[in-house]
Amino acid sequence: MSNFYIREIKFTSLLKLFDRKIFAVPELQREFVWNAKKACSLLDSIYKNYPIGTAMVWETSSRYGFQLRHRLHVLPQFAAETNKQIYFIIDGQQRLSVLYHITTGITVTNSFGKQINFHNIYFNTDNSEGMHFHYFPRRPPSEDYYSIPDILSSRYKHRFRSLGVRKRNAIQECREKILGYHFPIIFVKGDQIADIRETFIRINSQGTPISAADRAFARAENINLRHHLYEVRHGFENGFSEIDYDTLFMALLLIYGETQLGERARNRIVKKLEEGDDDIKDFSSEWRRIRLSFNKTITYLINDLHIINMQYLPSKNIISLLTLFFYHNKNKRPDSNQKRQIHKWFWYSSLSQRYSGRGYSRNILSDAVFFRRLGASRRGRFPIEELAIPQ
């Protein structure tokens, strides 16, 4: 990176930048993951004039337009026809998204499938201490709460003209504190995508840590792994859409024959898939089979193992290993022997906490060997070497 400069941008000026659609979300960024509670906490910090952290934006030329994410973000889409420079959000996407949508009042779905109706974020006019902002999915508990998008609206005086002086003054104070807040942004200039990628990973490893899968996504330029796994995850039922990306990525490691489970293995998979056009085409053609394996796994957990909801799943690794089985079984329904072995493995692993502690990696890799054999040859027995003692 060549140079950078810092600007403290007033909230009202930030809204004008949103309207110009100069910001862009790069593929290396995560989706919107915040919930309503975090949005309320951010607004409370702004109201109390607390620092809310610094955003970082990569200012570069339109030649890097291929890095644009066209899906899975909630900010206004970058307008290439009116902006010669692209301002990629490297850090601060969650906060900027909240700041934008407290003015729109629309409903946004986060990456876990949870909806946030920003019109249902309210300011409490009768609260001198504690949290001033609250989220109510239906209606607030009293007439002391008023919607933030209404407070920030240009017609706010007309909306609240019938209120008493005390409430109008509290609403005016809230409005002024939010619209007058200065948000610091670091603008970085440069053309080295590798430097920007590593900056993103380092920054997000210090604050709220990004997952190992997110770090792998950040290094994937040609294949959009995040989008593929996002579509898979949000097709799951019974709360299984809340499964994390690391678990889904674990299944990919096992399917592609990795004998290690750490970050190096993830990077090897990404590198292998991106080495040439043939590998990318192979992945695209293979993905339909992998996706079906994920879906078969969730269906089997619900219908055959009676795990009716994600919260009843003993270990997330069960999803990764069952997906490996269905992949090698060509997504066919298990025969009687396969079903018997799967059920033996499932209950033994559930009761013994097989995928925790020191034996975590060793047990997953050995079970992966078993499932490859069970799926490919339809033969094999799951070995129980010790009694499972309930924890």
Are residues 78 and 37 part of one domain?
yes
pLDDT above 70: percentage of residues in the chain: 82
Alpha helices in the chain (DSSP H): 11-20, 36-47, 93-104, 148-152, 156-159, 165-179, 193-206, 212-219, 225-233, 245-255, 263-274, 277-303, 317-328, 336-352, 360-377
The predicted pLDDT at position 203 comes to 56
Residue 276 predicted with pLDDT over 60: no
Are residues 142 and 64 part of one domain?
yes
Q: What is the pLDDT of residues 136-192, one digit of tens each?
A: 998 999 999 999 999 999 999 999 999 999 999 999 999 999 999 999 998 887 666
Evaluate whether residue 199 is within a structural domain: no
| Average pLDDT taken over every residue of the chain | 83
Residue 10 predicted with pLDDT over 70: yes
Q: Which domain holds residue 326?
A: 211-377
Are residues 221 and 251 part of one domain?
yes
Domain count, the chain: 2
Residues 206-215 have a mean pLDDT of 59
* Between residues 281 and 373, the one the model is more confident about: 373
Rounded distance between C-alpha atoms, residue 119 and residue 150, angstroms? 8
The predicted pLDDT at position 211 comes to 65
pLDDT band at 64 (very low <50, low <70, confident <90, very high): low
Are residues 216 and 185 part of one domain?
no
Residue 100 predicted with pLDDT over 60: yes
The predicted pLDDT at position 390 comes to 46
Evaluate whether residue 200 is within a structural domain: no
Are residues 252 and 338 part of one domain?
yes
Residues 33-61 have a mean pLDDT of 89
Residue 70 predicted with pLDDT over 60: no
